């Protein structure tokens, strides 16, 4: 019998759970979506470190560079496990046992760049590794103080993005193929 997962538990993967899927949409598609459904807010936890873990997982699942690398198997047949290893490595350095992680934000950024290049053959040039490192660093600082607001916001945004994508893909799949009508009207009007 399978238990129903809460939104927060969707972003907390324990060793007894299956590996996460990297199935979130690129941020641009989320902004362009016309879906109106709002996901339920993440279930709260009394443990700030669990909230931090959920935020990190949501951020990684939403990171377009990693998402694309996994979906396209740029890391080979083990792309999914490489993404999971990246998440696990972050948790080793940000383990909640100390207010000061064993890695600073610049080292985290460098590690993202190195990991993506070594494991997936991706050279990051968009600055996303800096944004992700900064986000994880800020979530760690907040959760370390007991303030889980940012981590919860990251999870909520990731959940909304996933729901928006489902709405967009439903529209695309049920479309009649006439989405490009305006091009016909513009021809010959010059």
Distance, in Å, from the CA atom of 97 to the CA atom of 40, rounded to the nearest integer, reads 30
Which carries the bigger pLDDT value, residue 184 or residue 67? Answer: 67
Whether 41 shows a pLDDT value over 70: the answer reads no
Radius of gyration of the CA atoms of the chain, in A: 19
How confident is the model over 75-123, as pLDDT tens digits? 999 999 999 999 999 999 998 887 778 889 999 999 999 999 999 999 9
- Band (pLDDT 50/70/90 cuts) for residue 188 is low
The pTM score is 0.67
Between 170 and 5, the higher pLDDT residue: 170
- Whether the CB-CB separation of 100 and 75 falls below 8 Å is answered with no
Most confident of the ranges 9-13, 23-27, 29-33, 125-129: 125-129
Q: Which of residues 74 and 189 earns the better pLDDT score?
A: 74
């Amino acid at each position: 019998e399978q238990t129903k997962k809460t939104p927060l538990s969707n972003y907390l993967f324990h060793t007894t759970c299956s590996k996460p899927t990297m199935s979130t949409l690129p941020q641009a598609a989320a902004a362009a979506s016309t879906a109106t459904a709002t996901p339920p807010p993440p279930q709260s936890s009394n443990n700030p470190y669990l909230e931090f873990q959920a935020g990190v997982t949501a951020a990684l699942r939403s990171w377009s560079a990693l998402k694309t690398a996994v979906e396209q198997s740029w890391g080979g047949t083990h792309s999914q496990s490489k993404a999971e290893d990246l998440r696990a490595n972050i948790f080793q350095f940000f383990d909640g046992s100390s207010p000061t992680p064993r890695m600073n934000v610049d080292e985290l950024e460098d590690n993202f760049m190195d990991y993506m290049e070594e494991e997936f053959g991706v050279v990051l040039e968009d600055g996303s590794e800096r944004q992700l490192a900064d986000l994880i660093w800020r979530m760690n600082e907040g959760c370390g103080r007991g303030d889980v607001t940012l981590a919860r916001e990251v999870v909520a945004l990731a959940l909304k993005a996933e729901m928006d994508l489902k709405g967009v893909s439903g529209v695309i799949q049920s479309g009649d193929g006439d989405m490009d009508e305006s091009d016909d009207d513009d021809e010959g009007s010059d």
